[in-house]
Structure 1
Amino acid sequence: MTESRSWLLRLVIAFSLAQGAVSMARPAVSYRALSLGADERAIGVIAGVYALLPLFAAVPLGRRTDHGRCAPLLPVGVVLMSGGCALSAAAGSLAAMAAWSGVMGLGHLCFVIGAQSIVARQSAPAEQDRNFGHFTIGASLGQLVGPVAAGAVIGGDLARTSGYALLAAAAVAAASLASLWRIEHRTPPRPREDRTTVPVRSILRTRGVPAGILISLAVLSATDILTAYLPVIGEHRGIAPAVVGVLLSLRAAATIACRLVMTPMIRLMGRRGLLTTTCLIGGLLCGGIALPVPLWALAAMLILLGFCLGAGQPLSMTTVVQAAPADARSTALALRLTGNRLGQVAAPAGAGLVAGLAGAATPFVLTGALLALSSAAALRRPRPAGPPEASSVPGSRPGHPAEQGNRHA
């Protein structure tokens, strides 16, 4: 592999390890909280705190990367993730669990903002769909291995074994540092007088940005609810933690499969059609998890759901990057992540309240409705913006809806 492409492979490896650590830690946090006496509402609050600190930090970090280097955010994120996992293992109260979960979430945000900004900055327009798709395969690989590893460790004495899982997650996160050397291409810094700061309101009013944010929020909320509440469903239905880990990994494997075949699907359906279809079907499947189906049917639903969820994240990244002004792409990606974290705060906390009142399966119905709403946002045709841009999918037809001008308001 040439040096010009090795940065992407190393970034995917690092993201796989970082996401694997988080995907291992999140179920472990839920099980450790259960061992400390948490109910469904408390689980929702702890899952929401994971996103609370990032909710306020995303835009300032995005501003920083728009006018500076992205790579320094990556090791900072790794240290915070690893520390949050290790300290969660030692926590003896639900309040401490929530606090260290927030540190873990802040570390994950730092890592993701830095990594996404590197992909956006170092990818030509014609490579963005492919490179963001490969980048998010790293996340899916982590989501594939992490829950299985957690399920293999956790069992019996939940307090002790969930602590072991959290310590293992801390070590995996730290291992990602090995892939981060010279990850960012060196470019001369822009003169300060040439830098422009695009107002957040202007970015949010740009056609394509709000839809990308909503789609990303809905898809991530669905993934987050699955990670936090499938263990609770498993406890209620008598499904062992190891089996829950396998079910979560089946979902992640299907997401990887989707991203591996995403380019031909875009050629066939267009970006807008693919987003609309996958969000709508994903919403129906997510709501179906609330039904008391046999284990094999639950596994089949999770596989199909994972495939549908695979398209939303990378294509929403491309949508936001291509819609945003050139001087505000990292900030636009940070706004997208702010929307993600807002969903991660509101969805689990709301889900915890609803689960406490109406049962642990109810959050899946609400998340399915959110996915269906996002499919309507994806259906909206972008406003024509002059001559069509060069296709970002090799072999696409000029003017294809997947690639038509999304750069302007």
Structure 2
Amino acid sequence: MLISSAVLCQIGLNLARPLISYKVLALGGDSIIVGLTSASYALVPLSVTLWLGRVSDRRSSLRGIAVMGTLLLAVGPFVLAVSPSFLLVTVASALLGMGHLCFTIAGQSAIARVDPLNHRDAAFGWFAASFSVGQMVGPFLAGLAMGSSEGVPAEVRLADANTALLIAGVISVLAVPFAFGTAVKYAPVDKMDAASPSRPDSFSALLRYPTMRTNMMASVALLTTTDILVAFLPLLGEEKGVPPVVVGILLAVQAVASIVSRLLLPVLLAHWSRPTLVIASLAGAGTTLALLPWGFQFPWIAGIQLAIGGFFLGLGQPVTLTLVTQAVPPTSRGAALALRMFGNRVGQVSLPTAAGLVAAPVGPSGALWMSCVVLAAACLRRPGNKQDQGPPSNGSCPEQE
């Protein structure tokens, strides 16, 4: 039920998000406003992320949080469809961000709580793959809705975007019954592990784990790169003369590749360690996507580049989830996942805004190159191969591995 709900609400979300860029352009906006609306998707949830993580640790059932997330994801596209101004578009984008936050924390916390370590990579991989299905189908439907014609008048673009946003809302509504079906009772964290009777770590204590910091950086880099692709590939397509339907197909190719890498995680982990796969994810995605602007006007070249880049982008996220939950005591897993998401949201606020500022003088290619620099920085900051270690048995927070 969790995976079914995830697939539907992520299709609706990822159908709506590329349309925000087209709607902003149709309303007369530019790349800076696209960056700001993309940042609003993460800005408002920042204020409740850490609190929601603690709540997930205390609740015996996470159904209420999951249902709230799907409801917000259903409301957001309808608000976007009727928004006549940049301000309301920004508000609707924030609603989508809140819905995504609630649903993701509920799902990740449930997996961290009930799945043993040897199954956790695969479970996170399936959950992440369901998100990738949405990232595949959603942009493809958005491209079909916007059509293949070039030079379309702004009012026609706006009407097409509004119609597609209504479809996105309907798809998200279909996810709500499945979210209600996730009514599983989980053991509270204070009863899960008798060997860990200590109180949950504070957020500052969690940040003292080197594993926590480095995997947060990797997660931020990978997630914001995906967001920048969704927000700025439509602009790159407009610049290069690539029709929206082709842009939607290319984003779908990237998502398919992410699904493949996430479903192959058990096979890959049989040959390589988790930290090695994270490093490969960062380096492979950064190298491939840095070349994307030069081949984007040739769809088959861009398709190959996005397939390779999407494979590496999808690979790292579920692995960092396992490393984060392994790094902390059981009583702090929900908080650690929320802290990781908090870092993601900070990145989603700051980096798309910075990408918009870079794209203003340089063009949308500059936004992609900036994300590649962030990927490289996260890769270079990773220490040796000790990331698979869990928390120390005495519950202390070491400054070094």
TM-score (norm 1): 0.89
Q: How does 1:314-325 map to 2 (within 5 A)?
A: 314-325=318-329
The structure-2 alpha-carbon separation of the partners of 1:327 and 1:161, relative to structure 1 and needing over 3 Å to count, comes to same
| Cα displacement (A) at 1:104 | 1.1
Question: 1-side partners of 2:187 and 2:209: how far apart?
Answer: 29
| Structure 2 runs not aligned, ≥5 long | 192-196, 393-397
Per the alignment, residue 400 of structure 1 pairs with none
Instruction: Write the mapping of 1:1-400 to structure 2, written as runs, cut at 5 A.
Output: 10-68=1-59, 69-155=61-147, 156=152, 157-187=156-186, 196-293=199-296, 294-382=298-386
Q: Counterparts of 1:195 and 1:381 in 2: how far apart (Å)?
A: 28
Change (3 A) 1:270 1:188: closer
Deviates more, 1:44-53 or 1:205-214: 205-214
What fraction of aligned residue pairs are identical, expressed as a percent? 32
User: Given residue 364 of structure 1, which amino acid in structure 2 is its aligned partner?
Assistant: L
Residue 407 (structure 1) aligned to one of 384, 388, 391: 391
Q: 1:178 deviation in Å?
A: 2.3
d(CA) in 1 for partners of 2:72, 2:237: 30
Distance 1:379 1:299, change over 3 A: farther
Q: Report the CA distance shift for 1:141/1:188 in structure 2 as closer, same or farther (over 3 A).
A: closer
Query: Distance between the aligned counterparts of 1:133 and 1:379, measured in 2?
Result: 24
Deviation, 1:187, is 4.1
Mark the CA change 1:296 to 1:63 in structure 2 (over 3 Å): closer, same or farther. same
TM-score normalised by length of structure 2:
0.91
Paired AA for residue 18 in structure 1: C
* CA–CA distance in structure 1, aligned partners of residues 281 and 21 of structure 2: 29
Q: Deviations over 1:327-364 (max 9, x none)?
A: 11111101111111111111110011110122111011
> Matched residues in 1 for 2:251 and 2:264: separation?
21
Q: Cα distance, 1:85 vs. partner?
A: 1.0
189 and 364 in structure 1: CA distance in 2 versus 1, 3 angstrom threshold:
closer
Distance in 1 between residues matched to 2:358 and 2:96, nearest whole Å: 25
- Give the alignment's Cα RMSD to 1 decimal: 1.7
Gaps of 5+ in 1: 1-9, 384-403
In 1, the alpha carbon distance for the partners of 2:199 and 2:355 equals: 40
Question: Is this contact kept in 2: 1:148–1:249, CA < 8 A?
Answer: yes
Query: 1:298, 1:97 → 2: CA distance?
Result: 30
Q: CA deviation at 1:202?
A: 0.4
Contact 2:57 2:188 in 1 (8 A): no
Deviates more, 1:263-272 or 1:109-118: 263-272
Change (3 A) 1:252 1:380: same
Shift of 1:292: 4.9
* Cα offset, 1:182, TM superposition: 4.3
Shift of 1:284: 1.0
* 1:268-314 Cα distance to aligned partner (Å, 9 max, x none): 12111111112101111121123255322111110100001111110
- 1:319 is displaced (CA, Å) by 0.6
Aligned partners of 2:53 and 2:307: how far apart in 1? 34
Kindly state the Cα deviation for residue 184 of structure 1 after the two structures are TM-superposed: 4.5
Alignment size in residue pairs: 379
Rounded Cα–Cα distance in structure 2 between residues aligned with 1:355 and 1:143: 23
Give how far 1:181 is off: 3.5
Judged with a 3 Å threshold, the aligned counterparts in structure 2 of structure 1 residues 375 and 191 are, in CA distance, closer, same or farther, namely closer
Residues 269/17 of structure 1: CA separation in 2 closer, same or farther (3 Å cut): same
